[in-house]
């Protein structure tokens, strides 16, 4: 039986220095990461394998200097934390244990597409040059 998500050399989990991904990461909004519970017939907050709540930090990634391929983009970053991160909109942040998950999927025509998702164990505001957040 063919795999719906084939494993390739491109797939995998990797801790990633966030300064290799973007020049700046600015949180726009944080909320619970949800998953559909078919038995209960409703959305529920997703939890890690260890039972810790997960949150989605919608984050503006500003491209690196001389990166002429990427545009600024709001990207969801999954943050695993007992408490919801309390960050006002437009807060520049640094993620703890920032990581990338790269995976592939085949569409109905057999074309393989590469996707990525981002996750972290925590998030905190970054001080500016004046020591302010």
Model confidence band, residue 6 (pLDDT cutoffs 50, 70, 90): very low
Can you give the pTM of this predicted structure?
0.82
The rounded distance, in Å, linking the Cα atoms of 117 and 32 is 16
- Which residue has 């995998």 as its token pair? 12
CB atoms near residue 26 (< 10 Å): 19
pLDDT score at 102: 85
> Is the pLDDT score of 77 beyond 90?
yes
Reported as a single tens digit per residue, the pLDDT across 101-122 is 888 888 888 888 888 899 999 9
Q: Return the pLDDT at 114.
A: 81
Residue 20's contacts (CB-CB under 8 Å, 6 or more residues apart) are none
Helices (H), 29-102: none
CA distance 112 to 99: 23
Quickly count helices (H) and strands (E) in the chain. Answer: 0, 10
96, 126 Cβ separation under 8 angstroms: no
């Amino acid at each position: 039986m063919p795999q719906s998500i084939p494993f390739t050399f491109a797939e995998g989990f990797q801790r990633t220095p966030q300064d290799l991904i973007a020049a700046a990461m600015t949180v726009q909004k944080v909320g619970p990461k949800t998953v559909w519970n078919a038995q209960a017939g409703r959305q529920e907050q997703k939890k890690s394998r260890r039972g810790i709540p997960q949150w989605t930090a919608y984050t503006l990634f500003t491209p690196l200097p001389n990166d002429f391929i990427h545009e600024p983009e709001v990207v969801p970053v999954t943050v695993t934390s007992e408490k919801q991160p309390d960050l006002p909109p437009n807060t520049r942040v640094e993620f703890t244990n920032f990581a990338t998950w790269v995976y592939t999927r085949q569409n109905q025509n057999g074309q393989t597409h590469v996707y990525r998702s981002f996750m972290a164990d925590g998030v905190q505001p970054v001080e500016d040059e004046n020591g302010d957040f």
